[in-house]
A and B are shown apart, each in its own frame.
Chain A
C-alpha cells in the first residue's frame, strides 16, 4: 500500500469529564473517499476539528504524509493542503459569493501588499488569475448566476455548494466535508453525490465525509469508519461495515440484527 495521505493515531479528546474521542486510529489513502458515520454525539465533528486544527487533541497524533501535524494552526494546515466545510455553514455572509471565493484564493497566486497598494502590474495579473479561478469554480458548482449576491441571502443548497467551492478554492489535497447533504431533499442528495465524485476526479482530491444519510455514504465511499461514543467500532468497505455486528448494534440496538 502507498503511504497514507492522512493518519490518525490513538487520537483522544476530552471535554471536562466527557471523553469525546477515545484512541481513534485510521489512515486515509490518497484518492479515496473515506466516510465517517456514527450516531449523534459519536465524536465525528470533534474528529474533524482535531484534524483541521480547530481544537487541539488531548493525546495522540495526526500525520500528514507521514509527518506529524498535530496541534498546528488551522491556516497552516490549510496551506499544507487540507480544507474543510462546516456542519453549520460558516460562510462570509456579508460578502458577495464571488468575494467569498476571492478570500479563499488569496494565496493563489501570492502577491505583495506593496504591489497591491500601488496596483502594480504583478498585482493586476494576480487579481485577474484569482478572478479567473473564482469564475471557473462558480461555473463548476453551478453558482455563476449568483456571483454578485450577498452570501447570506442564498438558498440553503446554494450555500452548501458555495462552502464547497470556497474550500476547493484553497486547492486542497484533502477535503473534509461535514454533513454536506444535511437539509437537502432526495433529488439534491443524488446531485451532491455525483458532484462529489466529479470534483474528486477533476481536482484529484482525497475526500473525508461525515454524513448521516447512510445509503448516500454506502454508494459514495471507498471505505468507512464507524464511531460510537468516541470509539471507532468498525473500519472497512461499505459491504464489510454493513455486516459488522457492532455497527448493527450501534444503529439498531441489541437484537435488531435479526434479518
Chain B
C-alpha cells in the first residue's frame, strides 16, 4: 500500500513539519513555510531547466551533484528572504505574526504566478530527473531529514536551543536574562526557511513539474496540522505528524470519498484526545524507561 513515491512524500512532509516546528520552538507561530518551500522549488525548477551548465541531458537526466547544489542554493535563497522579511514580521506576536506570514505566502504565490519567467499558471514542466525511479529520492530525502533531526537534537543541548525554549516560556524574562530575543527568533525563522527551501528544491525534481500552487495557504494549514497532531514539544512530534498526515489520505483511498471526512476527523480529534500532540517529552521518557527494562540491565532485573 505504501510505495516508494508515497514514502518520499511522507519524508518531505516530515521535513516541512520540522520547518514549522523550529520557529514554534521559540514561541513564534509562523505559517511562512510554504512560501520558502515555493521559493526553493521554483529556484530548482528554473535552474535545472534553464541553466545547461548544471548538466541536464536531452533525455531528462540530471547529475546528482547538481541536485545537491540546488538544495544548497534553494536553502540559501529562502534563508536570505527570511532574513529580510523576518526583521519586519518578527516584531509581531502570536496571531498577528501568523497573519503576516500568511500574507507572505500569498505574496510569494502571486509573484511566482505572474513573474515572466516562472511559466504562469501552468508552471514549469519536465524538470530533469537525477534518479530513474522514485526510490532514488528516498536517500536524499532521508539524509536531509536526518540532518535536520540531528540539528534539532543538538539544539537542545546548546545555548541557542535553550534560549528558544526560554522565549517560548516567557519572552520578557528571557530578555532580562541577557538574551537577544530578536536575534534568536530571527535565527529560528531563518533555519526554518533554509529547511523549507531545500525541501522545495528536492520536491521540484521529485514532482517533475512545479507551479505557484505548491506554496499556498492550504499548505500553511496542512503543515501546521503536522505539528499540532504530532506535538511541538520535541522535534520528533512534527516528524511523526508529517509522516502520518501525508500518508493518511493515500492509505484511506480504498474507502473512497469518505476519506476526506476521515482525514478531517483525525485533524479534529487529534488535538481533542492528545492536546499536547502524539509525541510528548513524557512519552519519550516512558519509552526510554521501557526500553531500558527490556534491554535489561541486570541490576534492575533483580528488583521485584
Tell me the A residues contacting B by CB distance below 8 Å. 52, 54, 73-75, 78-79, 83-84, 86, 90-95, 99, 102-104, 106-107, 111, 113, 116-117, 119, 123, 127, 166-167, 169-170
Contacts and interface: CB of A to CB of B under 8 A. Distances in A.
A73 B175 contact: yes
A103 B175 contact: no
Contacts of B179: 75, 103, 106
Given A91-B170, A95-B165, A103 B158 contact: no
B281 to A, nearest CB: 10
B154 interface: yes
Given A75-B181, A95-B166, A103 B174 contact: yes
Contact of B169 (A73, A95, A127): A95
Contacts of A123: 158
B162 interface: yes
B178 A170 contact: yes
B154 A75 contact: no
24 contacts: A54-B175, A54-B176, A74-B175, A75-B176, A78-B176, A79-B178, A83-B177, A84-B176, A92-B166, A92-B174, A94-B168, A95-B162, A103-B163, A103-B165, A106-B159, A106-B162, A106-B178, A107-B178, A113-B160, A116-B154, A119-B154, A123-B158, A169-B177, A170-B177
Given A90-B172, A106-B162, A113-B158, 14 more contacts: A75-B178, A75-B181, A78-B175, A86-B173, A91-B170, A92-B173, A94-B165, A94-B168, A94-B169, A106-B163, A107-B159, A116-B157, A166-B177, A169-B177
A113 B162 CA distance: 12
Given A75-B175, A75-B180, A79-B178, A102 B162 contact: yes
A103 B160 contact: no
Nearest to B187: A113
B158 A117 contact: yes
Contacts of A75: 175-181
B173 A116 contact: no
Interface string B74-88: 000000000000000
A69 to B, nearest CB: 14
Nearest to A151: B169
A106 B158 CA distance: 9
Contacts of B176: 52, 54, 74-75, 78, 83-84
A91 B176 CA distance: 11
Nearest to B156: A99
Contacts of A102: 162
B165 A99 contact: yes
A104 B162 CA distance: 9
5 closest A-B pairs by CB? A106-B159, A116-B158, A78-B178, A90-B173, A92-B169
A90 B170 contact: yes
Nearest to A102: B162
B159, B169, B181 pick with most chain A CB within 10 angstroms: B159
A111 B159 contact: yes
